[in-house]
């Protein structure tokens, strides 16, 4: 399953038959922040960082359930991709 479809079904809980032509969180920042909003609704804090020259971008979700002790980080070339990868790590339990 492609990344955007996984995000739509596993994170956003859209139905499997959802029209993927209108949802591209790996490239569209508005869609990526929909993922962040959903993760916040599900009890995860969000943090974003970069190394100020745009070469390393990290997204992190931390669980409110354990006072943010458990975190799920992902590094990518774009903030959108980092958000997607970190969200999938939460669902896969890779803290």
Percent of the chain clearing pLDDT 70 (strictly above): 95
Query: Domain locations in the chain?
Result: 3-14+24-92
Where residue 53 falls (left for φ over 0; alpha for ψ -120 to 50; beta otherwise) is: alpha
User: Which of 81, 23, 4, 11 minimizes the C-alpha distance to 48?
Assistant: 81
* This prediction's pTM: 0.90
Query: Topology of domain 3-14+24-92, per CATH?
Result: Bacillus phage protein (3.30.2120)
Q: What is the pLDDT of residues 14-46, one digit of tens each?
A: 998 888 888 999 999 999 999 999 999 999 999
Q: What is the pLDDT of residues 78-94, one digit of tens each?
A: 999 999 999 999 999 86
């Amino acid at each position: 399953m492609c990344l955007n479809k996984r995000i739509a079904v596993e994170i956003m809980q859209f139905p499997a038959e959802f029209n993927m032509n209108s949802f591209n969180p790996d490239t569209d920042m508005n869609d990526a922040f929909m993922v962040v909003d959903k993760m916040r609704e599900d009890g995860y804090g969000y943090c974003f960082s970069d190394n100020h020259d745009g070469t390393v971008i990290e997204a992190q979700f931390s669980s409110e359930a354990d006072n943010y002790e458990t975190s799920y980080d992902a590094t990518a070339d774009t903030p959108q991709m980092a958000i997607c990868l970190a969200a999938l790590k939460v669902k896969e339990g890779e803290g």
